[in-house]
Amino acid sequence: MKLQQLLSYTRRAVDDYDMIEEGDKIAIGISGGKDSLTLLYALHGLKRFYPKKFEIYAVTVDLGFENLNLDAIKALCQDLEVPYTIVKTDIADIVFEQRKETSPCSLCAKMRKGALNEEMKRLGCNKIAYAHHKDDMVETMLMSLIFEGRFHTFSPRTYLDRMDLTVIRPLMYVNEADVIGFVHKYELPVAKSPCPVDGYTKREYASELLDQLIKDNPGVKERMFTAIVRGNMPGWPEYKGNRW
């Protein structure tokens, strides 16, 4: 996927769900993975020509694993002239050593989001952009059906009243395969996750299940995504586009 196509998908999502307003200060949660770096490029590129002016800030929550190297990401942000903040935490020690969680993902995510939201408020940001793409949204819907018995997934735009922050997901129309292609084409400095349970989660199970469904039923992912967008789920913002 070329940058122009990425910007087209991003612009469409932003317009369809009113994700960006004039004067927004948007933090981008940078994990170091392929998705968050692609989002950084997407919003950096969109910022150049979007009619509503906005600012972006890159933020990484360092969980405290010793083998995470962020030097290349620092250099990328300098090249893009995007302010970059690394928030140091002891989350890894708390989750894996002190509490020895057998299912650590929920607690880790909660603490990571807390640290990220706190830094956002310090920076004066009113929005945060997460790098969830189309596959993430479909996989989350599958997990919700299988493990919770309900039809639910991420909302394109969510207001968090307790924090007075709005979450947006500008990559919602982008396929994971296109993200992978973009990362390879532009040689983005992906930092491998040091988490010991990476690749052994319920999300990984849902990802493998979706791959099998796609193999057995070509086009099934697009049909499921269409069902999500048309599903009128509680909490979803009004759709402003004309494609569904």
pLDDT per position as a tens digit, 89-127: 888 888 888 877 777 777 888 888 889 888 998 999 999
DSSP 33: S
Q: Which of 90, 214, 81, 192 is nearest to 142 (CA)?
A: 214
What are the residues whose beta carbons fall under 8 Å from the beta carbon of 210, sequence distance 6 or more? Answer: 135, 138, 139, 142, 221
Across the range 198-216, mean pLDDT stands at: 84
Across the range 55-81, mean pLDDT stands at: 91
Q: Domain boundaries in the chain?
A: 3-229
Strand partners, 87: 61
pLDDT at 49: 95
Which range of 41-50, 64-73, 198-207 scores highest in mean pLDDT? It is 41-50
Which of 3.30.930.10, 3.40.50.620, 3.30.2290.10, 3.90.79.10 is the CATH number of 3-229?
Answer: 3.40.50.620
